[in-house]
A and B are shown apart, each in its own frame.
Chain A
Amino acid sequence: MLTAAWLVDVAASAVTGDAVTVKITHWHGLEAAALWMSLAAIGGGLMALGAYPRLRALWDATPRPEAKAIFDGIIEPLAAACRRLTDGVHNASFSRAVTVAVLAIAGAGVWAFSGGTHLAGDRALLPVTPTVLALWAVMVIAALALPFYHRDRVVALVLTGVVGLLIAPLFALFSAPDLALTQISVEVVTILLMLLALNFLPKATPVESAPGRRFGDVAVAGIAGAGIGWLAYAMMTRQPAFDPISHFHLAQSKPGAGGTNAVNTIIVDFRGYDTFGEIIVLGIAALVIFALSETLLRSPTVTRRLGAIAPVREDGDRHPMMLVVATRFLLPMAMMVGVYIYLRGHNLPGGGFVAGLVFAIAYLMQYMASGYVWSHARQRYDHHALIGWGVLVSVLAGVGAWAFGLPFLTSGFEYVNLWPLEEFELATAAIFDLGVFLCVLGAVLLALASLSRLGLRTGEDVNTRAFDINPDAAQAEEVR
């Protein structure tokens, strides 16, 4: 009989490597069980076919679980429960969300601190010095005054500035000169920004919350403050549970990164990737501010409301000549200080962040003294471009390492002897820090310029001269 046995032989032999012979038979005789099983199956099938209409009717009549009904039955109550929960929780009340979050975090903190084990608080404490005591006292007075006097928003801003500026000497006293420099320059920029923003917001906060509610808020704030203060005290009075990893950074700062300022080498060398991401975030924040201000300026409602803001003239001189002249003289000096802070950053307190902020403050003084339009007309570099160049320069500093077969942002340095100068160091970290500098400068200026652009739509007229009084005209008047 013709079978496919030959094909199976060839295939099986090829796979196993040995000669295989198979025998395929189609008729196994009447005794084979398979024959009777097949016949029984065919017979059974024919019988079932004959009984189909009756079986079908029986099946249709039998009650059975309906998947869609089960699904709907489960999902609908769940969806309704979720809707009730969302409606109950999300009542568009920011205050309630903050209250719940603060209490939940405080509760989790208490639970973690009481449940876990911790070292004994036996770390030697520092003696109180009169300087720190005085700083602390002024800070406490200013901070406590804020809740009582915050309704006058300018006063609130002054109190915020007092506290923020006092933190800088605290950083300096507790061995963090870099932080002191950063805090003091950021504080100046922040207060300027808020002062500018107050032009477009009400100058006073109305009394709205009932005394009972305020009492509740004091309780929530008190719990949060006591919790974090207690945690800070517990942390400061204990030795670290693990050996700090910064031994490595201190040991490698000079030999590994080529700089003696361990804080700066962490920022630009050891953890350069963090900083790289951070300047991008800062740049994006500034671009968001610009984009939002652009959108606002396109809205007819906003421009109408801006136009309705009446200029507040508390004195006659909007751009005092003394201030204009003084800031004009200060500009090159402030820039020189910025360059100095940038250059020393790798070895002494300073660096790109602080330098960028110092430059930004120098320019902001021009904006304050002579107005946005006058200063902007004399500005040669676009703020957006500064941010872009900042990111690009730091990317170049990072990609440059690839040329030496090293990972992204690996820093390198070389000591150079150039007669008649003393031996000095050239580090790629300085290029990266330049990127940080440009990005910070661009971001701060773009943020404040975006706010100033809103100011142009208010009812106030725009000055084209550096200061309001014209000394030339006054002189001509005198001569005549």
Chain B
Amino acid sequence: MEALVASAIGLLTAVGIYMMLRLRTFPVILGLTFLSYGVNLFLFTSGRLTVNAAPIIGRTEPYADPLPQALVLTAIVISFGMTAVLMIMAIGGHLEAGHDKVNMSDTDDDTPEVQS
């Protein structure tokens, strides 16, 4: 089971990084979303994998480590906030500049390209 989860984390991270290296804002944001899936899962597994051990006191012992779970819970919510801020920035960039490219070319210094 550990190998499955580890390979899933690796794959999500790899797809996330690949998408972050694309040249338009939307794929980059999707890439960041994938990367945060991978990172959240990775942080979660630092508590080691356990089955049928939800950290609810009074249930069957042993309990899963609750601390990584609490940290990842807040991380999931913050990832949403970050994605939302990036989205409005991407929209703003696209509407202001007329294109949604991530990289600025060496020739244009901040001068917005005319939309084709």
Q: Chain A interface (Cβ within 8 Å of chain B)?
A: 91-96, 98-99, 102, 123, 125-129, 132-133, 136, 139-140, 143-144, 146-147, 150, 153, 156-157, 160, 163-164, 167, 170-171, 173-179, 182-183, 186, 189-190, 193-194, 197-198, 200-202, 205-206, 208-209, 217-218, 220-222, 224-233, 235-237, 240, 244-246, 249-250, 253-254, 260-264, 266-267, 271, 274-275, 278, 281-282, 285-286, 288-289, 292-293, 295-296, 299, 301-302, 305-306, 347-349, 353, 357, 440, 443-444, 447, 450-451, 454
For A354, give the chain B residue with the smallest CB separation.
B73
- The number of inter-chain residue pairs (CB within 8 angstroms) is 323
CB A52 to nearest CB in B, in angstroms, measures 60
- Some 11 contacts from A to B, beta carbons below 8 A apart, are A96-B103, A102-B17, A153-B26, A164-B33, A175-B55, A200-B94, A222-B14, A225-B14, A244-B47, A288-B85, A289-B88
Please determine whether A200 and B95 come into contact, CB atoms closer than 8 angstroms.
yes
Please determine whether B49 and A236 come into contact, CB atoms closer than 8 angstroms.
yes
Please determine whether A98 and B21 come into contact, CB atoms closer than 8 angstroms.
yes
| Main secondary structure on A side of the interface with B | helix
CB B87 to nearest CB in A, in angstroms, measures 5
CA distance A286 to B48 in the complex (A): 34
The one of B8, B15, B42, B56 that contacts A261, using a Cβ cutoff of 8 Å: B56
A186-B84 contact, Cβ under 8 Å, with A92-B104, A160-B33, A232-B42? no
Please determine whether A147 and B20 come into contact, CB atoms closer than 8 angstroms.
no
The one of B34, B85, B90, B98 that contacts A285, using a Cβ cutoff of 8 Å: B85
The one of A127, A175, A179, A220 that contacts B50, using a Cβ cutoff of 8 Å: A175
Per-position 1/0 for B5-21, Cβ under 8 A of A: 11111111111111111
Please determine whether A201 and B44 come into contact, CB atoms closer than 8 angstroms.
no
CB B105 to nearest CB in A, in angstroms, measures 8
CA distance A292 to B56 in the complex (A): 42
CB contacts (< 8 Å) of A260 on chain B: these are 56-58
